[in-house]
């Protein structure tokens, strides 16, 4: 199964596997959000910035951007996590 096929849980997946896959996607999104923050994405601009509101809600923008990256295929981390968690769950 390739990354594109795995970016959305399969309808034929058992409910337990869907939950594992969603958890793996959330973990990848959290990882990507941290990488985006480290790269400066979501930080206030000096000129014409959004002020205190932008500072307070910028993290939501970063997190949502990260989740959209995951849903678009991400970097493959969620698929790897899913397989590892699924294997561990079946033991």
| Per-residue pLDDT reduced to its tens digit, 24-63 | 999 999 999 999 988 887 666 665 566 667 767 888 889 9
Instruction: Write down the pLDDT at residue 56.
Output: 76
pLDDT at 59: 84
Which H or E element spans position 87? helix 77-90
Per-residue b/e over 53-89, b at no fewer than 16 CB within 10 Å? eeeeebeeebbebbbebbeebbeebbbebbeebeeee
Q: Which pLDDT score, from 0 to 100, does residue 41 have?
A: 75
Look up the pTM and report it: 0.72
Which three-class secondary structure state does DSSP give residue 83?
helix
Give residues with Cβ within 8 angstroms of 50, minimum separation 6: 44
User: Two tokens at 48?
Assistant: 């014409």
Under 8 Å between Cβ of 84 and 38: no
């Amino acid at each position: 199964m390739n990354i594109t096929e795995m970016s959305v849980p399969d309808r034929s997946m058992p409910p337990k596997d869907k939950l594992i896959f969603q958890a793996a996607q959330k973990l990848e999104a959290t990882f990507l959000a941290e990488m985006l923050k480290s790269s400066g994405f979501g930080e206030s601009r000096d000129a014409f910035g959004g002020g205190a509101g932008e500072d307070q809600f910028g993290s939501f923008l970063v997190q949502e951007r990260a989740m959209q990256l995951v849903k678009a295929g991400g970097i493959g981390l969620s698929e790897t996590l899913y397989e590892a968690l699924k294997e561990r769950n079946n033991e």
